[in-house]
């Protein structure tokens, strides 16, 4: 997650609740993407530091548990930069230029000059972040799937280029020659059919041919089977996107909850302010007077009832609103109570952590150490595969 400072209910319902669940189901790495923030905030890097700590406090307050998951800050694991650099050598420029968010973001953030090298490379930095931990799954929203796809392509290309031992191609050619002319031709035809057209039957025939060879060694056989499936060793496994359902949490005006729209309730919002913000929420404009009936479908408060209320309460709202049986303040009361109940323990834990910055720093320092250990192991293999361990 990019360091955006204090988080709000949109982050909680859209991301953090999901993390809290995932941390008990998988081995998880959650990190503050501070270098990613630099790709757009490079003119004001001073604002990033505070945003990092505020955000980590909110993670902890929301229930992200350093005992269950590894929490770290990207820039404190400099191995990410080295992997990014090494991957950049073999990543075609066109792959990055075609990432849909590249042009979109440049359009959206017109006030910033994003015609930079760092901004173009940002999806590749993200690929390095993922591949570093050999992640099987990456929790993302639908808008990030293209980034996982490019990560898969980068991994595939890396494995193809460097997952083979030196002299692999020559050894395969020699093994094919040992098959004899006729058998070698049949093998190559079938290999081509599988690799170019994905013909599984051809793969089976070619594999049977290799297994039936008497003239080749065991090593030749393994190389041929590896070559047949287009690979060698998998050094960087291809990750999958773990799609998270879109958050239903609306902002106070019914649009997406966002800091830039000013329609949010922060996780550390004071009770009086929560009360005030929900009381002032706009409702169905048809309810000018208390006696005018309304339509919940035209009201953002109704969307909050979808998140916080049970069927019975929602039925009470629907009937009361459409018959003018209840007023809007009556209707908002159960939402206010539910938001207060949800935020109370989060606010309390956040205050505890805010009072103890040393503890927060030491949690992050431990996480960075853990992450570095995993990162070093991957980089060691990457360097060896590329012949850079001299």
CB contact at 8 A, 51 and 261: no
Q: Which of 317, 343, 363, 364 binds ligand SF4 (CB under 6 A)?
A: 317
Q: Judged by CB under 6 A, does residue 70 bind ligand SF4?
A: no
Q: Judged by CB under 6 A, does residue 299 bind ligand SF4?
A: yes
CB contact at 8 A, 264 and 13: no
- Contact mark string toward ligand SF4, 343..362, x via CB under 6 A: --------------------
Rounded distance between C-alpha atoms, residue 334 and residue 305, angstroms: 8
Up-side HSE of residue 320: CA atoms within 13 Å toward CB? 15
- According to DSSP, the β-strands at 28-32 and 137-140 are unpaired
Q: Which of 294, 349, 353, 378 binds ligand SF4 (CB under 6 A)?
A: 294
Report in angstroms how near the CB of residue 270 gets to ligand SF4 at its nearest: 23
CA distance readout (Å), 229 to 169, 322, 329: 14, 64, 66
Q: Judged by CB under 6 A, does residue 287 bind ligand SF4?
A: yes
Residue 203 or 324: the one with the smaller Cβ distance to ligand SF4 is 324
Q: Judged by CB under 6 A, does residue 284 bind ligand SF4?
A: yes
Tally Cβ neighbours within 10 Å of residue 262. 9
Q: Which stretch binds ligand SF4 (CB under 6 A): 103-111, 134-142, 210-218, 294-302?
A: 294-302
173-179 contact pairs (CB < 8 A, 24+): 174/220, 175/216, 175/220, 175/221, 175/223, 175/224, 176/224, 178/213, 178/215, 178/216, 178/220, 179/209, 179/213, 179/215, 179/216
Report in angstroms how near the CB of residue 332 gets to ligand SF4 at its nearest: 6
Q: Judged by CB under 6 A, does residue 283 bind ligand SF4?
A: yes
Q: Judged by CB under 6 A, does residue 335 bind ligand SF4?
A: no
Report in angstroms how near the CB of residue 310 gets to ligand SF4 at its nearest: 16
Q: Bridge partners of 70? A: 29
Report in angstroms how near the CB of residue 342 gets to ligand SF4 at its nearest: 19
Rounded distance between C-alpha atoms, residue 200 and residue 207, angstroms: 10
Report in angstroms how near the CB of residue 322 gets to ligand SF4 at its nearest: 8
Residues 6+ positions from 333 with CB-CB distance below 8 Å: none
Q: Judged by CB under 6 A, does residue 339 bind ligand SF4?
A: no
Rounded distance between C-alpha atoms, residue 208 and residue 46, angstroms: 63
Residue 10 or 294: the one with the smaller Cβ distance to ligand SF4 is 294
Report in angstroms how near the CB of residue 312 gets to ligand SF4 at its nearest: 15
CA distance readout (Å), 187 to 168, 175, 201, 202, 216: 18, 11, 13, 9, 14
Residues of span 210-249 touching ligand SF4 by CB under 6 A = none
Q: Judged by CB under 6 A, does residue 331 bind ligand SF4?
A: yes
Q: Which of 133, 162, 187, 302 binds ligand SF4 (CB under 6 A)?
A: 302
Q: Judged by CB under 6 A, does residue 321 bind ligand SF4?
A: yes
Report in angstroms how near the CB of residue 235 gets to ligand SF4 at its nearest: 56
Q: Which of 71, 125, 328, 371 binds ligand SF4 (CB under 6 A)?
A: 328
Interacting residues toward ligand SF4 by CB under 6 A: 283-284, 287, 294, 296, 299, 301-302, 317, 321, 326, 328, 331-332
């Amino acid at each position: 997650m990019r360091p955006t400072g204090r988080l709000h209910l949109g982050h909680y319902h859209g991301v953090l609740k999901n993390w809290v669940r995932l941390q008990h189901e998988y081995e998880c790495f959650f990190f503050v993407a501070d270098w990613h923030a630099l790709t757009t905030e490079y003119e004001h890097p001073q604002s990033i530091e505070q945003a990092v700590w505020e955000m980590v406090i909110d993670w902890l307050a929301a229930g992200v548990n350093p005992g269950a998951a590894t929490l770290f800050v990207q820039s404190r694991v400099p191995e990410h930069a080295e992997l990014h650099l090494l991957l950049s050598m073999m990543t075609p420029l066109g792959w990055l230029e075609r990432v849909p968010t590249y042009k979109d973001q440049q359009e959206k953030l017109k006030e910033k000059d994003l015609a930079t090298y760092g901004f173009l490379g940002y999806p590749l930095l993200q690929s390095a972040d993922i591949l570093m931990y050999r992640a099987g799954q990456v929790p993302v929203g639908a808008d990030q799937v293209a980034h996982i796809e490019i990560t898969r392509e980068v991994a595939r290309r890396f494995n193809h280029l460097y997952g083979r031992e030196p002299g692999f191609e020559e050894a395969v050619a020699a093994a094919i020659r040992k098959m004899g002319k006729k058998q070698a031709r049949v093998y190559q035809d079938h290999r081509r059919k599988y690799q170019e057209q994905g013909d599984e039957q051809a793969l089976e025939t070619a594999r049977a041919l290799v297994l039936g060879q008497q003239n080749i060694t065991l090593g030749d056989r393994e190389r041929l089977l590896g070559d047949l499936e287009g690979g060698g060793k998998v050094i960087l496994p291809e990750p999958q996107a773990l799609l998270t359902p879109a958050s239903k949490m609306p902002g106070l005006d019914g649009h997406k909850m966002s800091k830039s729209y000013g329609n949010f309730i922060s996780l550390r919002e004071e009770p009086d302010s929560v009360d005030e913000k929900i009381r002032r929420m706009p409702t169905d404009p048809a309810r000018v007077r208390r006696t005018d009936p309304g339509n919940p479908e035209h009201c953002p408060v109704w969307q909050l009832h979808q998140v916080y209320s049970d069927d019975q309460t929602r039925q009470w709202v629907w009937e009361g609103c459409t018959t003018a049986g209840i007023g809007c303040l009556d209707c908002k009361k159960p939402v206010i109570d539910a938001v207060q109940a949800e935020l109370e323990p989060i606010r309390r834990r956040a205050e505890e952590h805010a009072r103890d910055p040393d503890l927060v720093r030491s949690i992050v320092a431990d996480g960075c150490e853990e992450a570095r250990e995993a990162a070093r192991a991957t980089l060691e293999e990457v360097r060896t595969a590329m012949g850079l361990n001299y």
